Chains A and B, each alone.
Chain A
Amino acid sequence: MGDKKLDDQIAEYALRLGDDALVFGQRLCEWCADAPTLEEDIAISNVGLDYLGRARMALQYAGKTLGRTEDELAFLRDSGEFRNLLLVELPRGDFAFSMVRQYLLDEFELLFFTQLCGSKDDTLGAIAAKTVKEVRYHQRRSANWMQRLGLGTQESQARTQAAIDQLWGYMPELFEMDELETSLLQAGIAVDRLELHSKWLNTVTAQLASANLQIPQIDWQVVGGRKGVHTEHLGHMLGEMQFLQRAYPGLQW
């Protein structure tokens, strides 16, 4: 305790996790009232709500050290200050694209948050313990959709395969360890992302293969979200998400 450097590192880590959840939750909410069926509409909104709750827990925690409220962090930072993965900021695309992204992320999060439950940081461990329960039913739904889309019609199979091909280059960022996370890993606080890769790849490959879908052979990848280097899409998303607080600072319900 009282280790300023360690506290700063934990806050930065919590900010990353909070930003992942906030940006992804916002993308999911874009489906609200626009999903293919009423049940899916409710499902996507509910999953989005889980992400929003997770974002609030993580950003409140980060904000304690950073001296900013969760709302200031969410609504008053520019895109260069966001620390989320590029994967979650991509536009929602069609339903297949959104479900493939959800599935690839769910399988990752299942492994990641199970590990984070054992963090030496009590708050991160507590957030992980709540999160992992929710990720379990997210994954049940998205894995189910992989089957239905992959084994559905020719068109649903083609669109789902196209989504996998488009998203694959964003996967390596999920497993990237930088100086901050390596140092927190040594302190028993962060998760070893690298270690999760082979298990994730095996699960995803098998699940997709059983749905007539293939892992692409590609040689490109993009990273940068953790350093604040984002795609053009994040700025557009924030323009909508932050509009009210920017136009009417401090506005409350």
Chain B
Amino acid sequence: MIPAASNCIELMPQARFEMNQRRAQSKVAHLWDLLDAVTDPEIPVMSIWELGVLQDVCVTHNQGSPAVTVVITPTYSGCPALSVMSQDITSALAKAGYENVRVEIRLAPAWTTDWLTGATKNKLRSYGIAPPDSTACPQCGSECTKLISEFASTACKSLYRCLACQEPFDHFKSI
């Protein structure tokens, strides 16, 4: 018997679990929440938290004024979106009154699409992008699709075509 989806606990990679723990136990939960407004500039339905780029947020107090350190990790090593995300982090926090913000890039553990949760994958699908573990057509749902190119509009995507509805679509590569 297959239990209902609502009754399943999703399997989660260790690194994603640790990220979730850092957020759950953080004393500055409001800052994490603020950063939920920062999205991938190329996929605006997905926040940097959902993408797995946002790793940690810490605050230190130097003579009363708070200094925020935000730790992020790159997706693909040459992804130009990383610098845009850094700027967006700085300006989102500045708007909330945090002027002293440092964005730190951490390379390890290496980013993987395994960090995307089921809910995030569903978001991608309804946005028209096939999520990492599926090459079914996000438009019509057909499994009958064909790879056109491993490289597409951005580093993180490949290009497919649906043989049922004939529409091309982006697939979020699994790495």
Contacts and interface: CB of A to CB of B under 8 A. Distances in A.
Interface of A: 39, 42-43, 45-47, 49-54, 56-57, 122-123, 125-127, 129-131, 133-134, 136-137, 140-141
B77 A54 contact: yes
Given A49-B76, A133-B175, 17 more contacts: A49-B155, A50-B76, A53-B76, A53-B78, A54-B77, A125-B108, A126-B107, A127-B77, A129-B108, A130-B77, A130-B110, A130-B111, A134-B76, A134-B77, A134-B175, A137-B150, A141-B151
A29 to B, nearest CB: 11
Nearest to A123: B107
Interface in B137-170: 148-153, 155, 159
A125 B149 CA distance: 30
30 contacts: A39-B148, A39-B149, A39-B151, A42-B151, A43-B150, A46-B155, A49-B76, A49-B78, A49-B155, A50-B78, A50-B155, A51-B78, A53-B76, A53-B78, A53-B79, A54-B77, A54-B78, A123-B107, A126-B107, A126-B110, A127-B107, A130-B107, A134-B77, A134-B175, A136-B175, A137-B150, A137-B173, A137-B175, A140-B150, A141-B151
Contacts of B150: 43, 137, 140-141
B159 A39 contact: yes
Contact of A57 (B107, B111, B153, B159): B107
A167 B108 CA distance: 35
B149 A130 contact: no
Contacts of A123: 107
B173 A53 contact: no
Q: Which 7 residue pairs across A and B have the least CB separation, nearest first? A: A53-B78, A53-B77, A126-B107, A49-B78, A126-B108, A43-B151, A39-B149
